[in-house]
Structure 1
């Protein structure tokens, strides 16, 4: 096909179709090579458009990235909408964390966005990371309320769990981690089971602390000394 005929063939697409092809092209390239390695030329070739057509829509590649990444703005919120109703706090945490693993596992675009946020500081990565933090806020507030009577600082604990999930999903094709091959079905199930066990430990520990405090308060009301209370209730 001649260059002239190729140009004619391209013009048959509607503006909506061209926009769809551009977004599809950038998505495919991001999943294949990551944000940092996508080029405007690559997008134009994949979408079968001339650079001039691209520039009529976007000022530059960053503007296209900004438009594209909005699809992930409410990724976690959309996940939370699927959560069953009337779960208690412990089951809510387990459900969110296990489904975070499941949702991220095969979502190459979201994986590449997390990698980009780590490697590049720019207005887009600051926006996407900041918005995700805002969306996470309701879960964090729930945990803060649940653990406020314990001596656990749940915020950095939750941050460690969530970031650990991110890292293990992103790293799983590179090598074993703690002698577990997370790039297998068995490794994935072990991760989900381990996260569930960790959540159980956190809630059991907190429940025991709260119960110990109630026992101590009753003993104080009966005039029992702090020394005896400490040795009988809070001894390690």
Structure 2
């Protein structure tokens, strides 16, 4: 009996992986607009009934896939570790490393690029759910860094919003338009290095500006 039960569980997990892999294939080839039930069913090679049995809805299937690829959702466990280990000690270097790591991830990850394109082109329950989860994780990181900016006029959240928005646009422009932007080729290693150097410098200046406004401890 146990063997049959174990076999059924194994088959279920294999089928779920097939469905998730089919979603990924479609996203990479056709974008999120290509995610039609009949296409997922065909590429996965499984009956559509199993989508509902294992995920409840097609949206839940897509959301499950997105969460396995989204940088900030994946980062949730790491954020919890940082809360334990970095409370009161999340400084400039941590913020720089976080954003530079995100730039590299987004630049290399087609799934994330397609998700952002989908995010800015239409409303969807999947988008709303993932974006809300991103915001929750982002809030954890901002709160870790907030002590650096207390009693200053520095707006860390607006600064990071502009940097991440810039990362999104520059990477997508390089991938889709395949042309220069402000005379920078972001598809080249030289262009990538230039952008990363500026991200590093902006965060450096942001923390330094806040530091100058801090009242000296007597």
- In which range does the TM-score fall when normalised by the shorter chain? 0.7 to 0.9
Question: Unpaired segments of 5 or more residues in structure 2?
Answer: 1-9
C-alpha distance in structure 2 between counterparts of 1:112 and 1:161, whole Å: 19
Q: State which of 129, 132, 138 in structure 2 corresponds to 1:130.
A: 132
Distance 2:100 2:49 in 1: 45
Contact 2:170 2:186 in 1 (8 A): yes
1:153 aligned partner: 155
Match of 1:75 in 2: 74
Q: Is the helix fraction higher in 1 or 2? A: 2
Q: d(CA) in 2 for partners of 1:20 and 1:143?
A: 38
Larger Rg: 1
- What SS is found at the alignment partner of 2:137? helix
Give the 3 Å change call, closer, same or farther, for CA 78–168 of structure 1 in structure 2: farther
TM-score, scaled to structure 1: 0.73
CA displacement at 1:99 relative to structure 2: 0.6
Contact 1:24 1:47 in 2 (8 A): yes
Task: Report the equivalent of 1:112.
Answer: 114
Aligned to 2:4: none
Cα-to-partner distance string for 1:191-232 (whole Å, 9 max, x where unaligned): 11111111111122222233xx65xxx9xxxxxxxxxxxxxx
Q: Is the 8 A contact 1:76 1:132 kept in 2?
A: no
Residue in structure 1 matched with residue 43 of structure 2 by the alignment = 46
Aligned 8 A contact 2:90 2:145 in 1: no
SS of 1:179's partner is: coil
Task: Give unmatched runs, 5+ long, in structure 1.
Answer: 1-12, 219-236
Note if contact 1:44-1:51 (Cα within 8 Å) is conserved in structure 2.
yes
SS at the partner of 2:181?
A: coil
How far off is 1:162 after superposition? 2.0
Q: Please, which of 5, 25, 28 is the counterpart of residue 28 of structure 1?
A: 25
Q: Is the 8 A contact 2:79 2:140 kept in 1?
A: no
TM score, norm. by length of structure 2: 0.78
